[in-house]
Structure 1
């Protein structure tokens, strides 16, 4: 698949130190602080918080992920990093700003919506869980994001 490497450096395969590393979508994940000094390495700085958040989100179910506290700076860093990765994987720009805004406005345990980025979309409604997915196993309904996929409009 297209899972980014978040546990080891994609260059030297060493364990990533708990320091600012480099996010390199072209390389397929994170480049350690030592390897980032190489002149041929292209990427953007990736904070320890962002790396830990990505790791957590990659292995979490929807309800656990919704409890993650993400401030504006971290949200911006995660969005920039993940959009870059998606752009490399699908080889074109991702037109998902509406989806991201809808996800940001889902209720969270703190009771307030996350900040809006751009292009507001229609609101969400509840739906039943997808058959066989994590929500189906938990028995909880997931919100449906209208106007994003042709089958949900």
Structure 2
């Protein structure tokens, strides 16, 4: 299926679902709509990328699929600690992308090993890290970063601006 067709249908689905949910015909949140559209877009895109050997499209569509799943899971289940799910999701999505890259090119065993490592680490982040108290430390660091994030971005922008090629 052509990528333009997939994109067009995805935009149509997004528009229709947004319209129906804004009129209270469907009880969908914005996260639900985005999750459904991401999943719909990514399934045929992954399939075509695997057949055509387009690695960049494969990575992006795999990430979009898993982000869509995370949006739907977060929307349908009460998850109290959203920072925990973000950390888990980053690890799980990274590991899954590496596994998909291994499936695309079986000769690259490093994708398999790194993917399995990240998937195991994502499992441990949900089960063991909380018990060890690492989530409390991560939450404190996250709270500090929320306060200083604009300053960090401004400093990084200034550094890039000052050291640009003239």
TM-score, L = length of structure 2? 0.35
Q: Hey, which of these two has a bigger chunk of strand by percent? A: 1
Whose radius of gyration is greater, 1 or 2? 2
TM-score, L = length of structure 1? 0.38
